[in-house]
Structure 1
Amino acid sequence: MARLGARAAGLALVLGGSLAVAGQAVAGPEVSTVVPRADCGPGSRPETGLQGQVPLKDRVSGRSTQGYWCNLELVSRYQGQGQGTVGASYGTCQYLGTILPSALTAKRKGVNVIDMSDPRKPKLTDSLMSPATLGGTWETLRVHQGRGLLAAVSVGAATGGFFVSVYDVKTDCRRPRLLNGIRGTSLTMPGAFPGHEASWSPDGRTYWTTGLLGGAIAALDMTDPRTPKVIYNGLTGMVNHGVNVSRDGNRVYVASSSIPAGIVIFDSSDVQRRKPHPQLRRVSETTWDDGIVSQYALPFTDRGRPYMLAVDELGSGGVRFFDISDDRRPKVVRKLKLEVNRPEHLGTRAADLEKNGIFGYDSHYCTLDRADDPTILACGWSQSGIRVFDVRDLTSPREIAYFNPPGQVGKRSALVNSAHAFVPFGGYFSDIVRSLPEGRPIYTGETDMTADWCMSPPRIDGDTLWVSCDDNGALLLKFTNDAYPRR
């Protein structure tokens, strides 16, 4: 893998042309990061420490195996074999992502389909076993809600590609139908494209994928999902992470996994318009130094003004909101961090996380309830669980609810599909962890399972949240105490 800090100088090469490079901007000026704690109503079991913390004393005493919740209640859970980092959902069904070892060790191999139409009796209805779903979906398992299409790429151990699988989940979410199988089989045609992250364009016509190596990025035409076609394949010269797409498809937002953290915006209009020999053109690059490994960016509008939110995966970078009225010069307007992410709590954080793997109290994926004038932001915040914020005023967000599922101590052997329980992180990730502010060394032994990793983007469906966490599997949550805000 590329080493930390690797960043191509000058011009990055792409298939079919060159990549125009714009200047780099630092995300300033300094803005507030403080977010008030949620006011927990009846029926809550609040955190005992800092906002977002699972204290060491709770991990030692066993208190963390009971979980913590505030204005969110558990409606249904299907744990199964665990969740491979990122899952997806559609209708009343959840799809649990896979990691590569589970292709060999799982009792029910492939992407497990969980039907929660009867929350009292959630059940496994299918297992999707195609080259992509068996090859480790990592962070590529994505549903386009409008078209009812589920897609995934075979990622391998951390980055790969070659196979994509597309399923119809609209007809019957409990029994997804593979659309691009060869002659009715579960086999699919290989292709040359990266795999680590992925995202659908809002119109559902394009499925973008990114890889860590060399800044690989590709666009697959999904106009006919039975025959996906690679229409763009190139290199950005970065260490790519997550990718997202503007509403009109003319911009892609690519996160950087190198140091410094940041987001690069590209003009993708050639791809959107299906021009011959398309190019990506760099519009802007914005970086910051109070976080490590940017996860992804999500565009939205508020009162008619364009914004993007950017999320960091490590280094307690948290979430930040940018005004992109001029996307050549994104301007940060607010940051969002939990108390446990603040610099003054570095020592406390390190003690809690010493034996529970690389991902600590860090944001990972967030979702807005709508793309225009959003009311809430729901995030998978790794060992801090699911966090929900009122964002009706972007300059003054506040936490309104959280749910941190119980630690699954002693259940490792059953959780063969949990990245938290089974995936070793070394090499590139070792370098990252050694660069964390708390300076903790990477832990290479068995994690203590005292807190889960909640990494998936929640799906907001009215006053319910469809979420998945590595050890606890598929979860259905419901707001309580009138916590869900109405604009």
Structure 2
Amino acid sequence: MSTAALKDAWNLRLVGHSDLGANGDGMHVNVVDGFAYVGHMGHTTAGTSILDVRDPTKPRLMLQLPRPPGTHTHKVQVVDDVLLVNNERNLWGKEDATTWTAGLTVYDVTRRAEPRQIAFFDTPGTGVHRMTFWEQPYAYVTASDHGYLDQFLRILDLSNPARPHEVGRWWFPGQHAAGGETPTWEPITTVQLSQGQSPRPGQKRVALHHALPRGDRAYCGYWDAGLVILDIADRAHPSLVSHLDFGAEVSGATHTAFPVPGRDLLVVTDEQLVNVQAKREVRLVDIAEERRPRVVGLFPVPSGDFGPRFGPHNVHEMRPGSLVDPRTIYLTYCSGGLRVYDIADPSRPVEVAYAVPEAPPGQTAIHLNDLTVTPDGLIYVTDRFGGGLYVFERTR
């Protein structure tokens, strides 16, 4: 039986919980046909969990795939009967990742709780960090390759899921070292950051976190480079539409650029990192003139004493098949829990609900990580270290 409890809540209630078989290091989550697919951060031996959530009050763990040695498989995407799972060097786990499996694993999930591997797409280097696969046939993959500084966009065609192949790529100018490009910044890598090295003034990690498509555009959180908007009408040759650098003094680690459905508006999050005191923002960016994106609003910062790593991470991205509500943003705030905002007026977002679970055993605070909201309004949220999967619903 779950012992999860809430430390504080307003207009949200806890419906259900799973500790993921005592491997509670949850990350990415998709819910399809009453089954939740959860990626694990890599702090345990677990890689991917599948839960039956047709009764959301009692999530039932059906299967747990192990992660490959030295690797974490913390991202999942499901479209129809195809499940994608990333493979990336596990820089944040307990063991020293001297060897790892880098790429993208493709599973057939015709039987929802019985994944069958049908392909593996190899990506030399650290591997795949995240991917967006919302509808066939294209997946927008944050991946590495020989000759490039850090990770960038690779577009894969999965019209035959057993034979994924690349159709196009885009990188930030200066990333293609093998092509003779020289960065205009002093690079710092995830390997250096994972080893506790702090960036010196002027040092940046310029790398794609992930891209979200809408029509013939892709909206990218490009870490210390900020926001990037791409034209993907020709997927073989993506091109830059615009770039908005928020400035090192007020930003960094730009994670998500979410296009709000039906509106010329992006919600852009910076990710709060461990042992980083700099304030991370959640911005509303007007893209009515997409070549001149401009910040029009900032999300209010929750008030209270929440514990370490207090700051934003990700939003409900409203993928096809999930809840679509262009007025409401669901946001994970690490130790600040789950926050919900009304953005009817983009210049003045207003918090309308929140929930902060009690710290799981062995943690000083909750660390809510990623989320998705199903069409019935249920909010599935993961804890990064040990809390597992939480299910919430709004009470008003």
The normalised TM-score by structure 1 is 0.62
Give the distance between the partners of 2:6 and 2:260, measured in 1 at CA.
Answer: 36
Contact 2:314 2:332 in 1 (8 A): yes
1:68 equivalent to 2:8? Answer yes
Question: What letter matches 1:318 in structure 2?
Answer: E
Q: 1:299 aligns with which of 259, 282, 299?
A: 259
Does structure 1 residue 461 correspond to structure 2 residue 394? no
Q: Distance in 2 between matches of 1:175 and 1:125?
A: 9
Could you say which residue in structure 2 is the equivalent of 1:477? 392
2 CA distance for matches of 1:233 and 1:368? Answer: 22
Identity %: 23
> Which residue is equivalent to 1:149?
82
CA–CA distance in structure 2, aligned partners of residues 399 and 150 of structure 1: 34
Residue 338 and residue 460 in structure 1: after superposition, are their counterparts in 2 closer, same or farther (change >3 A)?
A: farther
Q: Report the TM-score, using the length of structure 2 for normalisation.
A: 0.75
Q: Which of the numbers 12, 16, 39 marks the counterpart of 1:97?
A: 39
CA distance in 2, matches of 1:204, 1:300: 21
Corresponding residue of 2:185: none
SS at match of 2:315: strand
Structure-1 residue corresponding to 2:281: 318
| Counterpart position of 1:418 | none
Aligned counterparts, 1:1-150, within 5 A: 66-79=6-19, 80=21, 81-100=23-42, 102=44, 106=45, 109-129=46-66, 135-138=71-74, 140-144=75-79, 147-150=80-83
Question: Structure 1 residues 363, 91: closer, same or farther in 2, change over 3 A?
Answer: farther
Superposition deviation, residue 263 in structure 1: 0.6
**1:437-472 Cα distance to aligned partner (Å, 9 max, x none):** xxxxxxxxxxxx121111113324333212211222
1:174 match: 113
Uncovered stretches (5+) of structure 1, i.e. residues with no partner: 1-63, 181-187, 272-277, 341-347, 413-448
Alignment CA distance shift 1:367-1:75 (3 Å): same
Q: Is the 8 A contact 2:312 2:334 kept in 1?
A: yes
**Unaligned ranges ≥5, structure 2:** 93-99, 176-204, 273-277
Match of 2:136 in 1: 204
Give the corresponding residue for 1:280. Answer: 238
Q: Report the CA distance between 1:199 and its aligned residue.
A: 3.1
Judging by fraction of residues, say which structure has more strand. Answer: 2
Report the Cα offset of residue 127 of structure 1. 1.9
Alignment check: 8 A CA contact 1:454 1:468 kept: yes
SS at match of 2:371: coil
Q: What is the identity, as a one-letter code, of the residue corresponding to 2:382?
A: S
Paired amino acid for 1:174: A
SS in 2 for 1:402: strand
2:178 aligned partner: none
Aligned in 2, Cα 1:328/1:372: closer, same or farther, shift over 3 Å?
farther
1:376 and 1:389 in contact (8 A); partners too = yes
Instruction: Tell whether 2:287 aligns with 1:332.
Output: no
Q: 1:361 aligns with which of 310, 320, 333?
A: 310
Summarize deviations over 1:211-258 as a string: whole Å, max 9, x none.
58434331111112122112234532372232223322x322222222
Q: Paired residue for 2:332?
A: 380
1:98, 1:134 within 8 Å by CA — same for their partners in 2? Answer: no
Work out the CA distance in 1 between the residues paired with 2:256 and 2:122: 27
Richer in helix (by share): 1
SS of the residue 1:224 aligns to: coil
Q: Which residue of 2 aligns with 1:254?
A: 220
**Deviation for aligned residue 1:77:** 0.5
Structure exhibiting the larger radius of gyration computed from Cα positions: 1
- Alpha-carbon distance in 1 for matches of 2:169, 2:126: 8
Q: Which residue of 2 is the match for residue 231 of structure 1?
A: 167
Letter in 2 for 1:300: V
Shift of 1:366: 0.5
Q: Give the letter for the 1:479 counterpart.
A: R
The change in CA–CA distance for 1:86 and 1:158 in structure 2 (over 3 A counts) is farther
**8 Å Cα contact 1:87-1:95 kept in structure 2:** yes
Aligned mates of 1:189, 1:463 — CA distance in 2: 35
Cα distance change of structure 1 residues 246 and 116 upon mapping to structure 2, 3 Å threshold: closer
Bigger relative CO (Cα 8 Å, ≥ 6 apart): 1
Cα pair 1:368 1:374 within 8 Å, conserved: no
The residue matched to 1:292 in structure 2 has which SS?
A: coil
In 1, the alpha carbon distance for the partners of 2:246 and 2:121 equals 40
Equivalent residues of 1:240, 1:254 under 8 A apart:
no
Q: CA deviation at 1:387?
A: 0.7
Work out the number of aligned pairs and report it.
338
After TM superposition, give the deviation of residue 115 of structure 1 in Å.
1.5
The answer on whether the counterparts of 1:364 and 1:379 sit within 8 Å (CA) in structure 2 is yes
